[in-house]
Amino acid sequence: MPQQPQHDSRPQLDAKTSPLTAIIFIGLLAIGLLFAGYSITSDITAVGPTGVTWLPYLLLGVALLIALGFEFVNGFHDTANAVATVIYTHSLPPNFAVIWSGFFNFLGVVTSTGAVAFGIISLLPVELILQVGSGAGFAMVFALLIAAIVWNLGTWWLGLPASSSHTMVGSIIGVGVANALMHGRDGTSGVDWGQVEKVGYSLLLSPVFGFVLAAVLLLVLRTLVKNRALYEAPKGNEPPPWWIRGLLILTCTGVSFFHGSNDGQKGMGLIMLILVGTVPMAYALNRAMPADQMTQFVAMAQATSQSLKTGTDVIVLADKAPQVLSDYVRTKTLTPEVLPALSAMANRIGQQVKDHGVLSKLPLDQVANVRNDMYLASEAIRFLDKDPAAKLDANAKANLKAFKKLIDDATKFIPLWVKAAVAIALGLGTMVGWKRIVVTVGEKIGKTHLTYAQGASAELVAMATIGAADGLGLPVSTTHVLSSGVAGTMLANKSGLQWSTMRNLAMAWVLTLPVAMLLSGSLYWLFTKLF
């Protein structure tokens, strides 16, 4: 029989929630929903009369609730990892720890850059992004979110620290493959596999880094710091020495903040797709871009268009350019028409902006088309930058880079209210249902109680890994990094591992991708029949 952890110093996880906490929870939830509703109403009203029926607004409300529901589930599923170490080392009381973590998750979301959000969106099939307001577009969004929620809830119910990032990537691949097969194409053509590979490496390597680096850090700590109390289980409910307690609280804070900054962006990206699809007149383009930036925009569009005409006699008309670029983004095959098509597209975008001066004055019936033109141009430039077959001179490359930044500023933006709504959902989710995953991380990975040094080592590595990935715009799994870090410290400390738990964690890690793909692909097929 495997040895079980000693629980004489087990934290009290069943303390009742005070009525004041419940009131604050409900109040924050109401504030988040009211703020989101008020902001959407204000943004749409600022555009002027739209003549839109109530159906898009109904779909918008449902989609937003599901998207925020995903972030809520993400909160109690993933963020429990951040608080497990401070709870099991008695650095913070359990209820205070989850409130503390929820607050810093909130701050992480609000201050995030958006790089991860749009990195996730770039995994989606280009034709669905361009038609996100269609039935297929809504089918895509609903399938992604519901599949991710179902798998997250299932693994949470079993107490398995599975990855929300892993789940979302699997859901995106499933929709892409299903969409390609439904249109008679090879299933592998429905996904940007280059971007999937980039994201996949970050998800695959992050738990390896967590395991190895946490183990090494613990061994270094044992060599440099000879205080034996750091390497023993807590005595009763006695907190650790002040400096190790401060370090544990600091790392819990850092992991919570970076979790919010990284994981919160997945929901933000999907919410922006929902907004663009349902109310493009308010959210398809960044209406806040100043007029002086538009002058630079027009000049750079014209310079880019001219530089792409050099060295080719092929001419592509502006109305044919979207199809050429869409085929290039989907197939990654550079034909002689691609550069002339991008030249025509850049010229058309520049002319549309020039005719109206600022994005906010574009006619409502043109907004969605201009946004799609900009998105296609940005994606085509992204692939051209990595395409060895693209023979571009230094001037053309410089122009493309500068032009891409300007069109990304016009299309890849996240309003403050979206960040606030996601932040509240993720932060509140942290305070609910956290015990299952906390118990798994704190008690069921190793055969002995988590020591102060083990908790500090695992959290330090998790904080550094997630923070670095956030800076690079890569989604990583807080769950995988932290749980593998705890396992690494148990092995380094010769505490032993509970292999039944490790097998379950490995099984969840292996099954997440295919199950999420199957769920989202099946739901996408079903929803396309309903919408």
Residues of the chain with pLDDT > 90: what percent? 14
> In angstroms, rounded to a whole number, what is the distance separating the alpha carbons of residues 129 and 187?
18
Give 496's strand partners: none
pLDDT at 6: 46
- The letter for the amino acid at 303 is A
**Local structure of residue 505 (DSSP, 8 states):** H
Among candidate residues 136, 122, 151, the one with its CA nearest the CA of residue 266: 122
CA distances from 36 to 31, 109, 237, 268, 421 (A): 8, 15, 42, 13, 6
Hey, is 311 helix, strand or coil?
Answer: coil
Q: Does 212 have pLDDT greater than 50? A: yes
Mean pLDDT in residue range 36-64: 80
Mean pLDDT in residue range 183-192: 67
pLDDT at 7: 47
- Encode pLDDT of 267-306 as tens digits: 888 888 888 888 888 888 888 888 888 889 999 999 999 9
Mean pLDDT in residue range 19-36: 85
- Encode pLDDT of 170-183 as tens digits: 888 898 888 888 87
Give 245's strand partners: none
**Local structure of residue 229 (DSSP, 8 states):** G
CA 322, 328, 331, 335: dihedral to nearest 10 degrees? 130
Q: Does 46 have pLDDT greater than 90? A: no
363 pLDDT tier (thresholds 50, 70, 90) = confident
- The letter for the amino acid at 243 is W
- Encode pLDDT of 492-526 as tens digits: 888 788 888 788 877 877 788 889 999 999 999 99
- Report the range of poorest mean pLDDT among 186-195, 218-227, 229-238, 495-504: 186-195
pLDDT at 9: 64
Q: Where are the alpha helices (DSSP H) in 183-290?
A: 193-224, 242-278, 280-283
- Encode pLDDT of 312-329 as tens digits: 778 888 889 999 999 898
> In angstroms, rounded to a whole number, what is the distance separating the alpha carbons of residues 273 and 279?
10
Q: Does 37 have pLDDT greater than 80? A: yes
Q: Tokens for 150? A: 């179902």
Instruction: Give rounded-to-5 percent helix, strand, coil for the chain.
Output: 75, 0, 25
pLDDT at 5: 46
pLDDT at 312: 74
Mean pLDDT in residue range 37-48: 85
Question: Hunting for tokens 């509703």 — which residue is that?
Answer: 37
> For residues 73 and 479, which has the higher predicted lDDT (pLDDT)?
73
Q: Does 2 have pLDDT greater than 60? A: no
pLDDT at 198: 66
- Encode pLDDT of 383-408 as tens digits: 898 888 888 888 888 999 999 999 99
- Encode pLDDT of 416-436 as tens digits: 899 999 988 888 887 777 777
pLDDT at 300: 92
Taking the model in full, what pTM does it have?
Answer: 0.81
> In angstroms, rounded to a whole number, what is the distance separating the alpha carbons of residues 438 and 416?
32
Hey, is 497 helix, strand or coil?
Answer: strand
- Report the range of poorest mean pLDDT among 161-165, 342-346, 394-398, 413-417: 161-165
Mean pLDDT of the chain: 83
